[in-house]
Structure 1
């Protein structure tokens, strides 16, 4: 079975990672690539290591009105750039939007694949979670569902690699000289990922997440997200770990670990590593989630969602080990 696939925004970091994964997928055939600044060039010009079978594919100017016959379209566009255009994609084309325009939008399914796989199967419009929510919510979900923490008293401190800022439109503060040996907090209290984290916490817990505090930081590395989450709860460390192992039993991409995870563990993969440290006497639970921001935080998660809506095993094309070191 061959599924005809297209990627919009292919020359960006997320689109390039989608290309890498799709090129090795046994059932997905990349037949369409689109971008703006890269339009007119071949994939080989942008990605010198691309497989020969894809090398001559020409990147087209993104126009939803002139799509070839497609089964699935991956859209990796900046937040604010996809809503209008994707509304003009034919209904018979399944879409996985890696960007932020359709998260919790009517008519789109929020694609938190490791938590709600059954809700994703059979859908045609999937909004991929953001990288920070993917790391944070993976660690929080078992605690919220089992009422081990208070949903209204959560503080999230996240560190991310520079590639999370995207390839296009990055300001000078993301350059090597500015980011090397530097740690930068940004967008406290108003980051674009806060609404989806808030809504998902409320859906999982049945309570209010009004007290959510979320601050991301840029760290001088290329890939990776580490989310440290401070919660109120009387559970022990063992109870948190047991709840997570039970909640994610049989889920291929979630690894619950006794040791606190590191970003290198997930590099180049669709894995999420989660762990906990708790002190019931202090009413404190610390949850930690680690992912690759381009893998589970973007293209890997998107491919997992595409597998679900196309009724393939979730691990298809995604079962490679992380890159080490």
Structure 2
């Protein structure tokens, strides 16, 4: 299968190349970068020396080369993907890692865990193959939304969370989630031994989470940790169901999904980094009648590039590509 990667020099593009290196069924034939156009991949990233990708060279945008690919991973910045990709809908398969198509009704939201691809469950979404056949595009979910939607989806769809309660989502991410673009707040001397909240209102991921969960009663607040990768989300909600009832629903909903693990201990980032897994833990504060739901993912793996490859595998599973 011939693959192209738009924006291949960013963190998600580099992670895709690292993961695809292990896939003998994949041949990466086209990578782009405005910053490094004309340079070889190994000039920028020496880890690919003596690998089958060492001859790749960063190129400029080419409609002709895109159409020669079986599938394109788009790692372009938010706001730029749609401008470029719109003309290719229905012509070449696309997995878009930006936010541009996540609320587009024509496009499948690519959080494979909440569809019936692993387990038939009455709360799961039907995987809309016809939609993919028509438009040939999947919107890869955001990293923060992935860490929040997966644990909350079965609870909200099963009416296990009180409808009048506000769901509070407090999330912390490694700095790679902000991308490679130079920003003062992400300089080593600013971030090292530091920890801070950013954009506590009107964050684009809050709207994405509300849209997919079909709820308005949710508040999301992101923070930056002085680490490279990983997301830990702490989610607070009220429910009339017992701790064991809710745990049982989570286990049943995800019972055949090898990458969703319901733990009996608090999740830690070191156990999910460089994986496609999400680790989930549920606890109950009796004094305050409050449930605490914890989740951990790798923001570059399950939260981005690893999940994009999961979406590629679903296309292959259903013989759509």
When the two structures are superposed, what TM-score results if normalisation uses the length of structure 2? 0.90
The match for 2:139 is 127
2:197 matches 1:185: yes
Q: Map of 1:1-325 to 2, 5 A cutoff?
A: 3-50=1-48, 51-64=50-63, 66-67=65-66, 69-89=68-88, 91-116=90-115, 117=117, 118-119=126-127, 121=129, 123=132, 124-151=136-163, 153-167=166-180, 169-202=181-214, 209-279=215-285, 282-311=288-317
Contact 1:189 1:215 in 2 (8 A): yes
The verdict on how the C-alpha distance between 1:44 and 1:69 changes in structure 2, with shifts beyond 3 A counting, is same
The verdict on how the C-alpha distance between 1:56 and 1:25 changes in structure 2, with shifts beyond 3 A counting, is same
Deviation at 1:90, TM superposition (A): 6.0
Contact 1:235 1:278 in 2 (8 A): no
CA distance in 2, matches of 1:301, 1:120: 18
Deviation at 1:312, TM superposition (A): 7.0
CA distance in 1, matches of 2:221, 2:45: 34
Contact 1:121 1:311 in 2 (8 A): no
Match of 2:46, SS state, is: coil
Could you tell which deviates more after superposition, 119-128 or 101-110?
119-128
Quote the RMSD (CA, aligned, Å): 1.8
Deviation at 1:10, TM superposition (A): 0.6
CA distance in 2, matches of 1:289, 1:151: 22
The verdict on how the C-alpha distance between 1:175 and 1:16 changes in structure 2, with shifts beyond 3 A counting, is same
CA distance in 2, matches of 1:7, 1:121: 23
Deviation at 1:282, TM superposition (A): 3.8
Contact 1:64 1:85 in 2 (8 A): no
Contact 1:236 1:279 in 2 (8 A): no
The verdict on how the C-alpha distance between 1:136 and 1:33 changes in structure 2, with shifts beyond 3 A counting, is same
Match of 1:193, SS state, is: helix
Deviation at 1:175, TM superposition (A): 1.1
Instruction: Output one character per residue of 1:146-174: Cα deviation in whole Å (capped at 9) or x when no partner.
Output: 2221355101100000000001x231110
For structure 2, which runs of at least 5 residues remain unmatched after alignment?
118-125
CA distance in 2, matches of 1:130, 1:82: 14
CA distance in 1, matches of 2:12, 2:239: 36
CA distance in 1, matches of 2:292, 2:229: 23
Would you say how many aligned residue pairs link Structure 1 and Structure 2? 304
CA distance in 2, matches of 1:279, 1:94: 46
The verdict on how the C-alpha distance between 1:128 and 1:139 changes in structure 2, with shifts beyond 3 A counting, is same
When the two structures are superposed, what TM-score results if normalisation uses the length of structure 1? 0.89
Match of 2:246, SS state, is: helix
